[in-house]
Chain A
Amino acid sequence: MSASPLATTVLFHIGPVPISQPVVATWIIMALMVAGSLVLTRHLRLRPGKVQAAMELITGAIDGQIREVMQADPAPYRALIGTILLFVLVANWSGALPGVSPPTAHLETDAALALIVFAATLWFGIRTLGLWGYLRTFAEPSWVMIPLNLVEQITRHFSLVIRLFGNVMSGVFVIAIMLSLAGLFVPIPLMALDLLTGAIQAYIFAILACVFIGAAISEGAPPPEPRSTP
């Protein structure tokens, strides 16, 4: 069998710190996205040109999704959710470039993303309800539920990690197997499917982040149904 999909390749060392391939890919994607957004927001005008209109369309779509899922003003969450969505999308699609393995196909990147979502859940929950108010939501229908709620907090973020990792990694893995079996054009439909999966998974990751934060700020009420009209 070929190399393990769970292992990472170390490219070089900076001092004692090993720098692996996903880290380099992540930093390149981050640099490209930051540079792109700087260039695109350099000349904002009241009468938008083509590029600005497209960007405003994307921002408006993200705003609409956040408002629909969280039933709240999207302004405080737009930066976080939008960045997560666009980064995961670009990272998933970067696997289509030759020689690049998507950083989200490695467990560490997904764990870092889910950790950001977890921290944001705590931060927005405590900011909206206060520390005591947020802690009380863990005892929501009754105090018997405290251990269950604590376990749920951990497992749902863990499943967020495994979901993104499994989907992206399995796409890469299947394409590698197909390439080793049959030659030139056979993996192309699978790569197209991989692009679709990458887009859907980026959307699901962002929507679930919305649902978690929305559940944290809505005082123990059941989270609003996210898929009523996405």
Chain B
Amino acid sequence: MSIQEISILSAAIAVSFGALGPGLGEGRAVAAAMDAIARQPDAAGTISRTLFVGLAMIETMAIYCLVIALLVLFANPFVK
């Protein structure tokens, strides 16, 4: 395989596995937040605000993988 083919494959692998972990994590976070809101509806505002910030932090992990994939595709140091 040429460098280009390996790069495309590795970019796809990076994005897919990078989406897997944060997806699971975000699912757990949303489930916990729903549970907390159901137990204590008064705190819904604070919980959802905190949830959004936390989700953005988790999502950043997927974004890192996306950046790696884009680096591999567009700024690959091994491709002339």
Contacts and interface: CB of A to CB of B under 8 A. Distances in A.
A225 to B, nearest CB: 11
Given A4-B74, A6-B70, A229-B46, A166 B63 contact: yes
Contact of B56 (A4, A6, A7, A200): A200
A230 B56 contact: no
B52 A170 contact: no
Contact of B63 (A5, A167, A229): A167
Contact of B53 (A7, A173, A230): A230
Contacts of A227: 50, 53-54
B60 A6 contact: no
Given A4-B75, A5-B74, A167 B60 contact: yes
Contacts of A123: none
B70 A5 contact: yes
A7 B46 CA distance: 40
A165 B56 contact: no
A130 B80 CA distance: 49
Interface in A155-201: 159, 162-163, 165-167, 169-170, 173, 197, 200-201
B7 to A, nearest CB: 12
B60 A166 contact: yes
A200 B53 contact: yes
Contact of B75 (A1, A6, A201): A6
B12 interface: no
Contact of A201 (B54, B56, B70, B73): B56
Contacts of B70: 4-6, 173
B39 interface: no
B17 interface: no
A4 B75 CA distance: 8
A163 B73 CA distance: 19
B59 to A, nearest CB: 8
Contact of B74 (A6, A165, A167, A230): A6
Can you list the 7 inter-chain pairs with the closest CB atoms, starting with the nearest? A166-B63, A4-B74, A200-B56, A166-B67, A163-B60, A6-B75, A6-B74
Interface of B: 46, 49-50, 52-54, 56-57, 59-60, 63-64, 66-67, 70-71, 73-75
18 contacts: A6-B71, A6-B75, A162-B63, A162-B64, A162-B67, A165-B67, A166-B67, A167-B60, A167-B63, A170-B63, A200-B52, A200-B53, A203-B53, A204-B53, A204-B56, A207-B53, A227-B50, A227-B53
